[in-house]
Amino acid sequence: MKKIWIICVCIAAFSSAANASIESRAEDVSKQVQGKHDYHAQMAKELSAIAEEEKGQHEVSTAGAFMEEAEKHAQMAGSK
């Protein structure tokens, strides 16, 4: 029983860490696409916003997936 508790605590901690990560990643994406208005920059912004919204609804895995995609677009932003 003790072990189960430990695991639950770990999962909760992991979940909390993931939440924080989404926020900071969103910030990074935002910085990365600042001043850029091309398709990839726009996609990064849109997907990052969705990720944050999902995170707000505690859909951490979904938020992570959207954020990952946002980051891919952010990397491509501004490149011709």
Give contact residues for another protein (rule: CB under 8 A): 3-4, 7, 10-11, 14-15, 18, 37-39, 41-43, 45-47, 49-50, 59-66, 68-69
- Find out whether 52 and 19 touch, Cβ atoms under 8 Å: no
* Residue nearer to another protein on the CB measure, 23 or 65: 65
In angstroms, give the least distance from the CB of 49 to another protein. Answer: 8
Residue 52: C-alpha distances to residues 1, 17, 18, 24, 41 (Å)? 35, 14, 12, 10, 16
Q: Which CB, 8 or 31, lies closer to another protein? A: 8
